[in-house]
């Protein structure tokens, strides 16, 4: 491996930690990213001559922090900044923090960076782009390719996000107390949306984008490790582990989607399933210890666990899934949740029972243009032998979806 390739590999792995460590000093994620890039340039200039350091990640971190300290010193007098941020600047321990023993306080630069990148002051698209850039280590080109958009659009989105954080005076910190619950929801949502876009792409020619799933899964594991007392952090990790376990079975040799009922479960990743079960157990135990009820991500992971436990599709405990969807609907009312519950009801009680629930959702404005509504209705009608009606619903669903693989699947079902 050349020095240049070593620099790029190490920076890809360490960039989030470097940016997080520098942001703690300069209190600005945009400047922190620039200083991290400066350290990268310094490594590209020096390592080919001096050789790759024994601890390249530490070298990059130290270089970036030294530049951050120099910047702070130039902006304000060293004495004032040292008094204000002493331990942050020089890494020298000062007086003991009286709240350090409080388990509700988390002193971690990466966690600060996650909460900053996912701040609710930003739009959802901006939070996703900034998170993938700062924490996922993805380039602008990679983000644009993953979401089938242009590099300039992504670059502009990231620049605007950084400016918005600066204008809003968003502090580089982890929220505590009541604010944490609200802010944590924003962080979990970003990771969940990134995974979903990889798991079932909304647009384009590919049904799966595994890279996005891997990025989201890594972030979910990181968050669960940084916030061990948050049940929903473990719940999200469990959900993504269990969903990701099916990846190899979700497409055929030609890349065409394979529905859950038709998947070869021998191809499901047993390691990811075990990890998912373990994370779900931690979510349940943590919820019990902290006196909390299971949240929406933990409930969804419990549903995914029901599928993972079934050796065959026919062995699925649909009654348990119906009950879990009932709890989820009570916790977070949503027509999409009700649609999924209708599918479970159709499997537990028959397609006619499910169709009654689906038809009750037909007029919901939130599902207007949602291709899965006619898709589910078509499936139920097909199971009831009403093939002409089913064919029309599959055609309608195909017209609504923006994913070419899914459109082909739906048209194939209509033709069948």
Stronger pLDDT, 348 or 26, i.e. the higher one: 348
pLDDT at 105 over 50: no
Mean pLDDT is lowest, of 143-157, 196-210, 290-304, for 196-210
pLDDT at 1 over 90: no
Which tens digits make up the pLDDT trace of 369-386? 899 999 999 999 999 999
SS3 of the chain: the string is CCHHHHHHHHHHHHHHHHHHHHHHHHCCHHHHHHHHHHHHHHHHHHHHHHCCCCCHHHHHHHHHHHHHHHHHHHHCCHHHHHHHHHHHHHCCCCCCCCCCCCCCCCCCHHHHHHHHHCCCCCCHHHHHHHHHHHCCCCCHHHHHHHCCCCHHHHHHHHHHHHHHHHHCCCCCCCCCCHHHHHHHHHHHHHHHHHHHHHHCCCEECCCCCHHHHHHHHHHHHHHHHHCCCCHHHHHHHHHHHHHHCCHHHCECCCCCECCHHHCCHHHCCHHHHHHHHHHHHHHHHHHHHHCCCCCHHHHHHHHHHHHHHCCCHHHCCHHHHHHHHHHHHHHCCCHHHHHHHHHHHHHHHCHHHHHHHHHHHCCCHHHCCCCHHHHHHHHHHHHCCCHHHHHHHHHHHHHHCEEHHHHHHHHHHHHC
Which tens digits make up the pLDDT trace of 383-401? 999 999 999 999 999 999 9
Which tens digits make up the pLDDT trace of 137-154? 888 888 887 777 899 999
pLDDT at 309 over 60: yes
The pLDDT of residue 98: 37
Which tens digits make up the pLDDT trace of 28-85? 888 989 999 899 899 889 988 888 888 888 899 999 999 988 888 777 654 555 566 5
Stronger pLDDT, 105 or 111, i.e. the higher one: 111
pLDDT at 344 over 80: yes
């Amino acid at each position: 491996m050349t020095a240049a390739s070593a620099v790029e590999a190490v920076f890809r792995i360490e960039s989030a930690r470097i940016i997080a460590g520098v942001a703690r000093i300069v209190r600005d994620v945009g400047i922190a990213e620039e200083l991290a890039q400066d350290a990268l340039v310094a490594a590209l200039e020096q390592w080919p001559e001096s050789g790759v350091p024994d601890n390249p990640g530490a070298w990059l971190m130290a270089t970036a922090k030294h530049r951050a300290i120099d910047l702070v010193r130039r902006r304000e007098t060293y004495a004032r900044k040292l008094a204000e941020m002493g331990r942050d600047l020089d890494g020298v321990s000062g007086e003991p923090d009286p709240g350090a023993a409080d388990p509700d306080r988390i002193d971690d630069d990466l966690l600060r960076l996650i909460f900053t990148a996912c701040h609710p002051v930003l739009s959802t698209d901006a939070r996703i782009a900034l998170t993938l850039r700062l924490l996922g280590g993805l380039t602008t080109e990679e983000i644009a390719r993953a979401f089938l958009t242009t590099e300039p659009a992504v670059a502009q989105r990231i620049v605007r996000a950084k400016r918005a954080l600066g204008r809003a005076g968003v502090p580089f910190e982890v929220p505590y107390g009541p604010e944490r619950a609200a802010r944590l929801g924003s962080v979990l949502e970003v990771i969940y949306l990134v995974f979903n876009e990889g798991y079932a792409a909304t647009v384009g020619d590919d049904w799966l984008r595994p890279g996005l799933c891997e990025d989201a899964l890594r972030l979910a594991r990181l968050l669960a490790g940084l916030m061990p007392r948050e049940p929903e952090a473990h719940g999200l990790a469990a959900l993504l582990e269990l969903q990701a376990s099916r990846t190899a079975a979700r497409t055929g040799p030609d890349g065409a989607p394979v529905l859950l009922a038709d998947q070869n479960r021998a191809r499901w990743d047993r390691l990811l399933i075990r990890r998912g079960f373990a994370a779900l157990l931690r979510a349940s135990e943590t919820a019990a210890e902290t006196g909390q009820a299971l949240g929406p991500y933990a409930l969804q992971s419990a549903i995914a666990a029901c599928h993972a436990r079934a050796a065959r599709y026919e062995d699925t405990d649909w009654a348990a899934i119906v009950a879990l969807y009932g709890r989820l609907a009570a916790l977070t009312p949503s027509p999409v949740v009700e649609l999924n519950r209708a599918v479970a009801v159709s499997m537990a009680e028959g397609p006619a029972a499910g169709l009654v629930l689906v038809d009750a959702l037909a007029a919901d404005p939130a599902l207007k243009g949602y291709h899965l509504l006619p898709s589910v209705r078509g499936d139920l009608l097909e199971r009831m032998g009403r093939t002409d009606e089913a064919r029309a619903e599959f055609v309608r669903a195909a017209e609504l979806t923006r994913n070419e693989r899914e459109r082909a699947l739906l048209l194939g079902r209509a033709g069948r």
